[in-house]
Amino acid sequence: MRSGMMRTLAGAALCSAVATAQDTVPSAAAVLRELQVGNDHHVAKRYQHPHQTAARQRELTSTQHPHAIVLSCADSRVAPEIILDQGLGDLFDVRVAGNVASDTELASIEYAALHLHTPLLVVMGHQKCGAVTAAAESGDAEGHLPLLLGLIRPAVERAKTQPGDLIDNAVRLNVENVVQQVRGSAPVLAAMVERGSLMVVGAVYSLDTGRVAWLPDGRTRTVARLEPPRQSARCP
């Protein structure tokens, strides 16, 4: 009887520990809202500069718990920590020209989602992207560039069938293509998206205004501010 009681107490303690750990991980919706507010700070040039103290730097020497993964272009004008007003340890940055997702980028995303338990991935393109523009041009590219541009060209071809500016449309469609690619990336990311442990959203950054436009899920012709869904009640 005593051993049964001990097992019950141990089980209750483990359940409590798991619940506490889950409570410390922010929901993807809450993180998304924080990034939207951070971008508001950037647009208004009223930065809060969170998590940029010496204490924060010391804290991160032993661990990291970034709350968002950002797959963005390597363009020098698109620095995620600045345009989303974040600090040290807040974002797991994966930066590559054209914000494409080859096996290398997918592996980095898998690492953050699986091992760091990061709940949100933002795929962020930007206005006047040089890589997208190069993919739309017919000239030859040097070195390894043809491999990268080849990943963007499907978006360019789709953009040619749509009204409006070719590059603007291609930038948006490239983001949408990568979002769908990540969501379907088996076996790791697709499974995490399916069970709700990873949210993947698309965004396009304006160099002119500093504003991030969040792409509505499943749409291809409009961009809008994405409001986070309601959080479901937690089980006791």
Closest of 47, 213, 189, 65 to residue 126, by C-alpha: 213
How far are the Cα atoms of 18, 99, 185 from residue 27, in angstroms, in the given order? 16, 24, 22
Is the pLDDT at 19 greater than 60, yes or no? Answer: no
pLDDT value for 229: 34
pLDDT value for 160: 97
Residue 99 contacts residue 178 (beta carbons within 8 Å): yes
Between residues 51 and 141, the one the model is more confident about: 51
How far are the Cα atoms of 70, 139, 141 from residue 201, in angstroms, in the given order? 10, 32, 30
What digits encode the pLDDT tens for the residues 94-146?
A: 999 999 999 999 999 999 999 999 999 999 999 999 999 999 997 788 999 99
Nearest-10 Cα torsion for 146, 176, 82, 225: 160
What digits encode the pLDDT tens for the residues 158-217?
A: 999 999 999 999 999 999 999 999 999 999 999 999 999 999 999 999 999 999 999 997
Please list the alpha-helical segments (H only) found in 116-232.
130-136, 145-159, 166-183, 188-195
Position 82 confidence tier, pLDDT thresholds 50, 70, 90: very high
Average pLDDT, stretch 79-103? 98
Average pLDDT, stretch 89-95? 98
pLDDT value for 34: 98
pTM for the complete prediction? 0.82
pLDDT value for 139: 77
CATH top-level class for 26-215? Answer: alpha beta
